[in-house]
Amino acid sequence: MSTVLDNPTATSRTGKPAAAAAEAAPEQTDGFHLVIDALKLNDIDTIYGLPGIPITDLTRLAQAEGMRVISFRHEQNAGNAAAAAGFLTQKPGICLTVSAPGFLNGLTALANATVNCFPMILISGSSEREIVDLQQGDYEEMDQLNAAKPFCKAAYRVLHAQDIGIGIARAIRTALSGRPGGVYLDLPAKLFSQTMDAQAGRQSLIKVIDPAPRQIPAPDAVKRALDVLAGARRPLILLGKGAAYAQADDAIRTLVEKTGIPYLPMSMAKGLLPDTHAQSAAAARSYVLAEADVVVLVGARLNWLLSHGKGKTWGGPDPQKLAKQFIQIDISPTEADSNVPIAAPLIGDIGSCVSALLDGIGNQWKKPPAEWTSAIAERKDKNLSKMAAQLAQQASPMNFHGALGAIRDVVKSRPDAIVVNEGANTLDFARSIVDMYEPRKRLDCGTWGIMGIGMGFAVAAAVTTGKPVIAIEGDSAFGFSGMEVETICRYQLPVCVVVFNNNGVYKGTDVNPTGGADPAPTVFVKDARYDLLMEAFGGKGVVATSPAELKRALQEAVASGKPTLINAVIDETAGTESGRITSLNPQKAAINK
């Protein structure tokens, strides 16, 4: 930042003309510009945040310096957008918040990014250290650095302008290296106004080189994995969202097709190969998980989403079956054996590991026995036929199958569209009904199962890709971030929000057991007009009561590229308690005894 004088004829304190004094003085920069320059130097061009003390001027200056600043209505949604941007771009998404309450609002998104392995940096302004440490009652006083540490990969604080470049470089490298995740960067208010020589400032900035270097698997580990795989009679490849993040799409597809092994994608890995691919076992999920004898995990963790790799889901303790063996490709060696023994851990980045397997397979690989692939095909055909009949239903009000069948058709015609999905039943049904055809086109609540990611993820998807976004939202999930439809309208983003409106959480049919005037905790205002919320900010609102109406409205919204909200009226008796994870929720009957 140069020293600029508005009046070149003014005089300085020395009596010399101010312009001459400025000419003699060294060019200066400040903390505001050093933060912006450090981000731009590392090819980060977008900030998601919410202005306020002490970072309002930082948002103004960032925009003035050519960065895109997407300003939200709540920091958690901005943080979710930053996290989704990190997943889609392999660059850390930047969330910028004010101090204390704003920082805490962003902290949920930071924790979610870390659990989901999305690279993200939460940058928050903060109170001055000397006041915080003495607890003297500063404005929004909080020890944010230590509060953040349990919820991210690392937390850093910058106190001096000359260290801004190092602080941002460390944050970027930490967010991207190894297993990606969230990083917190604490910037006290008075850091921004610190000045220093501009040349020295430029020299203090760091361009991060190779922040996520390739990690090549050991040759003996590759051989061990191939030996285990060669002995399989019922092999299965399981693709997780880490495989999608890796952007090793061609290598993964080649591995699947060259080996002939059936594959099962987790929800955010859908589209790495089209869901309609002949080797997809998604329509026979329960069968392949229970019956496979060797499972290759590619960027997938054996957490609760996969029943921790054991129990009934995986076939249980059946002595008639071969012991199930796992080959696990993961960047982190500590992930192996976290739930069950891993027969062949293959540690390295996914692209390198998959390429090493392909090199070892060569051209003489024996494909799986026909009895295994035929058994899967038979179950797929049966289940897909059953689903087709359900999707053809034209009930009004709609059920989940009829509504999602309409959306499925639109996504098939626009495979480049990005689907954002959250809710209970809305999520569970959509991930098995709506086929994906391209990688990284599906974003959902992921490992933590957190609600409220919808509008933040939708904004990030539209901003980073420019593609149409279809956000399939349960009415409960939409409530967490619904006000961000104003953000969508303000930036004129190509987002169509479809709210599955069944008047409540899970269903809209619960009653107050006391007979009192208060509604049941799971019930919302009946027949709410969510479409009018979008219209309030200049977008288009539509009510759809049948699959035909929903399909037509969604086609028009995607074609227009304009902010749209479709209030999809769903039968309030449709849906089940807690979706498909009822086992995690206390039985409703026990509460009502």
Mean pLDDT across the chain = 92
- Band the pLDDT of 26: cuts 50, 70, 90: confident
Question: What would the 3-class secondary structure string for 563-590 be?
Answer: CEEEEEEECCCCCCCCCCCHHHCCCHHH
Whole-angstrom Cα distance, residue 68 to residue 550? 34
Residue 8 — very low, low, confident or very high, per pLDDT cuts 50/70/90? very low
Model confidence at 269: pLDDT above 70: yes
Q: Is 301's pLDDT higher than 60?
A: yes
What average pLDDT does the segment 343-371 reach? 95
- The reported pLDDT for the residue numbered 1 is 39
pLDDT class of 583 with cuts at 50, 70, 90: low
Tokens of 448: 């933590």
CATH of 30-204, one of 3.90.650.10, 3.40.50.970, 3.30.450.20, 3.30.590.10: 3.40.50.970
d(CA 67, CA 418): 24
What's the farthest any 2 CA atoms get from each other in the chain?
A: 97
What's the pLDDT score for residue 592? 43
Domain boundaries defined on the chain: 30-204, 219-378, 392-592
pLDDT tens figures, 449-474: 899 999 999 999 999 999 999 999 99
pLDDT at 579: 63
Name the pTM for this structure. Answer: 0.92
Question: What top-level class would CATH report for the domain 219-378?
Answer: alpha beta
Q: Does residue 24 carry a pLDDT above 80?
A: no
Q: Is the pLDDT of residue 131 over 60?
A: yes
Angle at 459 between CA 454 and CA 463, to 5 degrees: 150
DSSP 8-state assignment for residue 293: S
392-592 domain in CATH 3.40.50.720? no
| Segment 473-525, tens digit of pLDDT | 999 999 999 999 999 999 999 999 999 999 999 999 999 999 999 999 999 99
Residue 19 reports pLDDT greater than 80? no
